[in-house]
Amino acid sequence: MEKREDRRVAMTKRMLKDALTDMLRKTDIYHVSIRELCQKADVNRTTFYKYYGSQFDLLSDMEKDLLDFLSKTITEHAANTEKIVQTACEYLQEHLEFVRLIINNNVDPMFPQKLFSLDVMRKATLHKFSGSLDEDTLEYLFNYITYGAYRIICMWLNKEQRESPEQISVLLSRFIQQQK
């Protein structure tokens, strides 16, 4: 019985997330009304407020889904940069509409900062290059690699004729490995 309820909750949240993504294509987050959002998702407002306090909370939950997935992927494949990038790119491609909105439309201008401040990303990157570099140089290298990789992935996501996640992961991994 509990699993059914969990599925219903997940389905309701998915419908709300899809509706918000659709609305963000046409308007900014500040002009999304809960009433319209609930109509589009076919969910009543009481249900919405059971899970979220505002459209900003819903957006935060969507960002959290993405950041949690990336953290989990980095943790699972810490020794394999190419696998991390490929798995992340596959996920980004599956959620292309939302990801394009978050990186292009300033839905949340702080999103890149949230991404780059992931502790697991910092630890994995610094661990990969630690040993022969001093702390300041490692900090510069971390920023160079993460911001550069972010911009390449943004370019890739915005292309209509994109390389496959496998191809872009090989390319990015090659760039990162050259930094050693």
Indicate the length of the chain as a whole number: 180
What does the angle CA 103 – CA 156 – CA 59 come to, to the nearest 5 degrees?
Answer: 25
Helix (H, G, I), strand (E, B) or coil at 123: helix
Check residue 79 and give its pLDDT: 83
pTM of the full predicted structure? 0.88
Q: Where are the alpha helices (DSSP H) in the chain?
A: 2-24, 34-41, 45-51, 55-76, 81-94, 96-104, 111-116, 119-129, 135-158, 165-177
Q: What is the pLDDT of residue 3?
A: 56
Please name which of 163, 15, 30 lies closest in space to residue 107, comparing C-alpha atoms: 30
How large is the average pLDDT for residues 78-85? 88
What integer is the mean pLDDT of 26-51? 95
The residue-averaged pLDDT of 4-8 equals 78
At 87 the pLDDT is 95
Average of per-residue pLDDT across 39-59 = 96
